[in-house]
Homo-oligomer: A and B are copies of this chain.
């Protein structure tokens, strides 16, 4: 084997690095390495790319494939031993960090009636989106919430939280979403198990919704200074009604049709400091145009069926399927039905992109805004 090549990233473009290896330079590079340094021009074109190229790949996780495996975990491990019985989505391009896409983690968790996971808290922000079952609940800092299918619930960073299913409920499956990989890579992750393993419920059930879940109304005398929403639960029915009402009144946007962001009612911003979420409705027959933007996005099909074309590959989805759009990947969504609407739940690191000034967006100009589609891999 010969010397390593230091000139692998050369570009013959004005303003870019274009230095060929010479014996003298290679010797110089080796001296630099001994001082824990290196020459920028050997890596400049690599570390300053013209545009983002995500390490994540587009993936569709079919619920009909996953469901039985998720349920099987109940037989294989106990909550006590496993902590939580979760099958997580492991993007082939991000196996090193256990991410579904970008720096976002997601998993499917199952719980039987009468079970509960132990309470803990961590630096990561977390959310759940309920997929099936009855009797699920979450407790956040003493506030208990009851949950049904397509309900969206927050367990923000730093809050004590635990999940369970009532004894008279039915086996529940939900999707967890967290920024664990982001917090880890930013080297800021702390974790604590609750000293009692359980927390007391210190407030009336669903009080968060009663206090903060009224449109255009703020309860008197409630101060809130956290960076996350005091409204912990966003129920499905009013969300779906709001989308339908808005869709009746005005045309949607060419990429997403009718989309609403879940927000913190205290300041109108994203629900948590690092994770945003939205629900969108594709009207019957909708076929969106393609665009791309920075940030990593994970979708769950809350209703209906259709397809998305992501970086030229077509993914056909139906209710409960999950798919991801990596950063700066072209994507377009279409509803397969001419009579039924389709709804996509989505969570993302959009707050991170926005706060750090890194959000960029581009519409596809060519081909009427539609991507050419490659055949699905065998």
Interface residues of A (CB under 8 A from B): 13-19, 24-25, 28, 31-33, 35-41, 43-44, 47-55, 59, 61, 65-66, 69, 72-73, 76-77, 80-92, 97-98, 102-103, 105, 107, 118-120, 122-125, 157-158, 180-181, 183-194, 197, 204, 206-207, 210-221, 227-229, 231, 234, 238-239, 241-242, 245-246, 248-250, 253, 256, 259-263, 265-268, 273-274, 278-280, 294-296, 326-328, 349, 352-353, 355-360
From residue A128, how far is it (CB to closest CB) to chain B in Å? 14
Given A267-B267, A356-B355: A191 and B49 interface contact (C-beta under 8 Å): yes
Given A66-B35, A183-B358, A268-B267: A82 and B216 interface contact (C-beta under 8 Å): no
Q: Is the CB of A358 within 8 A of B186?
A: yes
A-B contact pairs, 7 of them (CB 8 A): A15-B118, A31-B69, A33-B90, A36-B90, A37-B87, A48-B191, A187-B327
Q: Is the CB of B15 within 8 A of A37?
A: no
For the A-B complex with A14-B193, A188-B295, A213-B215 known, give 17 more contacts whose Cβ atoms are closer than 8 Å.
A14-B197, A19-B82, A35-B69, A44-B82, A44-B83, A47-B184, A48-B122, A52-B188, A188-B294, A188-B353, A188-B356, A214-B242, A217-B262, A218-B268, A219-B246, A221-B253, A273-B357
Residues of B within 8 A of A356 (CB): 186, 188, 273-274, 352, 355
Residues of B within 8 A of A295 (CB): 188
Closest to A327 in B: B187
Q: Is the CB of A229 within 8 A of B216?
A: yes
Q: How far is the CA of A2 from the CA of B261 in the complex (A)?
A: 49
Given A193-B14, A256-B220, A268-B218: A37 and B88 interface contact (C-beta under 8 Å): yes
Partner of A84, one of B40, B49, B328, B353: B40
Q: Is the CB of A19 within 8 A of B77?
A: yes
Given A229-B216, A253-B221: A39 and B188 interface contact (C-beta under 8 Å): no
Given A204-B250, A263-B216: A352 and B49 interface contact (C-beta under 8 Å): no
From residue A127, how far is it (CB to closest CB) to chain B in Å? 13
From residue A256, how far is it (CB to closest CB) to chain B in Å? 6
Q: Is the CB of A190 within 8 A of B38?
A: no
Q: How far is the CA of A295 from the CA of B186 in the complex (A)?
A: 8
Closest to A72 in B: B28
Q: Is the CB of B25 within 8 A of A76?
A: yes
Q: How far is the CA of A52 from the CA of B66 in the complex (A)?
A: 32
Partner of A261, one of B183, B218, B278: B218
Closest to A84 in B: B40
Residues of B within 8 A of A250 (CB): 204, 207, 210
Closest to A192 in B: B50
Q: How far is the CA of A183 from the CA of B82 in the complex (A)?
A: 35
From residue A163, how far is it (CB to closest CB) to chain B in Å? 13
Q: How far is the CA of A37 from the CA of B62 in the complex (A)?
A: 11
Q: Is the CB of B36 within 8 A of A249?
A: no
Residues of B within 8 A of A253 (CB): 220-221
Q: How far is the CA of A316 from the CA of B36 in the complex (A)?
A: 17
From residue A143, how far is it (CB to closest CB) to chain B in Å? 11
Residues of B within 8 A of A221 (CB): 253, 259
Q: Is the CB of B38 within 8 A of A88?
A: yes
Top 5 A-B residue pairs of the complex, sorted by shortest distance between their CB atoms: A214-B242, A15-B193, A187-B327, A40-B86, A188-B358
Q: Is the CB of B92 within 8 A of A36?
A: yes
From residue A244, how far is it (CB to closest CB) to chain B in Å? 10
Q: How far is the CA of A72 from the CA of B39 in the complex (A)?
A: 11
